[in-house]
Amino acid sequence: MTTTVLALPHIIDPVLALPHIMDPMYWLGEGGPFASAVLPGILLIVFIETGLLFPLLPGDSLLFTGGLLAAAPNPPVNIGVLVVCVAVVAVLGDQCAYFIGRRIGPALFDKEDSRLFKKHYVTESHAFFERHGAKTIILARFVPIVRTFTPVLAGVSYMRYPVFLGFDIVGGILWGAGVTLLGYFLGNVPFVKGHLELMILLIVFLSILPGVITVGRNLLRRRNAMPDEG
């Protein structure tokens, strides 16, 4: 046992000394082991969030991170390709959600809460839709959760499809291009470029923080709702 413990530094130190092991671009950059998965992964998550009614995915932070990666010296994907693909997939996802709304949308208002679905997601999105009307299709793009259910509500309310499609294309371009390019331009700032791994870790932390807070609140609420024993 003592021999094993004494040998650990000889195993760990060479690993930590590898120059690129902590660099995200070592894994995700052009030629990296996961480079080919960056673009499909981003597009898949965008489609799931917008088209399959799964609101808890970090769409904004994902696009921002994609822009950061595209600004790196050896990017896994060209920024132009990323922007166009994200905008197209976001619009396609919304078309799927719109027709889900036409087909089964009203049932969402009667759906019981589950771990991944809360009824207030729909009611809050409906209130947002009622407040802002057709321009909600554009504004909701920049509001997490609301952007997932707004196309469904447009389908439920039988918003004329050409009107929905027009607003949705504008919103998809503004969101897909805007958030991604923001990450790209910030990725070209010397400080950000020099601390890319820190920036990505910060984005990941901020992405999961709302979920952690929500889980904590739910656990606290359940604990307070339990009858006192004894």
Over the stretch 40-94, which tens digit does the pLDDT of each residue have?
999 998 998 888 877 666 678 888 888 888 888 888 889 999 999 999 999 999 9
> Does 32 reside within a domain?
yes
> Does 139 reside within a domain?
yes
> Does 112 reside within a domain?
yes
Residue 55 and residue 62 in contact, taking contact as beta carbons nearer than 8 Å: no
Mean pLDDT of 109-133: 61
What's the residue count for the chain?
230
User: Of 31-40, 46-55, 163-172, which gets the smallest average pLDDT?
Assistant: 31-40
pLDDT bin (cut points 50, 70, 90) of residue 145 is confident
pLDDT bin (cut points 50, 70, 90) of residue 35 is confident
> Does 27 reside within a domain?
yes
Encode 183-204: b = buried (16+ Cβ within 10 Å), e = exposed.
Answer: bbebbeeeebeeebeebbeebe
Of residues 112 and 95, which shows the higher confidence score? 95
The number of domains in the chain is 1
> Does 218 reside within a domain?
no
> Does 211 reside within a domain?
no
Residue 156 and residue 101 in contact, taking contact as beta carbons nearer than 8 Å: yes
Range of the domain at 200: 21-206
> Does 198 reside within a domain?
yes
Q: What is the pTM of this model?
A: 0.70
Write the burial class of residue 23 (CB in 10 Å: 0-12 exposed, 13-18 middle, 19+ buried). Answer: middle
One DSSP character per residue, 38-57 reads: HHHHHHHHHHHHHHS--TTS
85, containing H or E segment: helix 79-104
> Does 157 reside within a domain?
yes
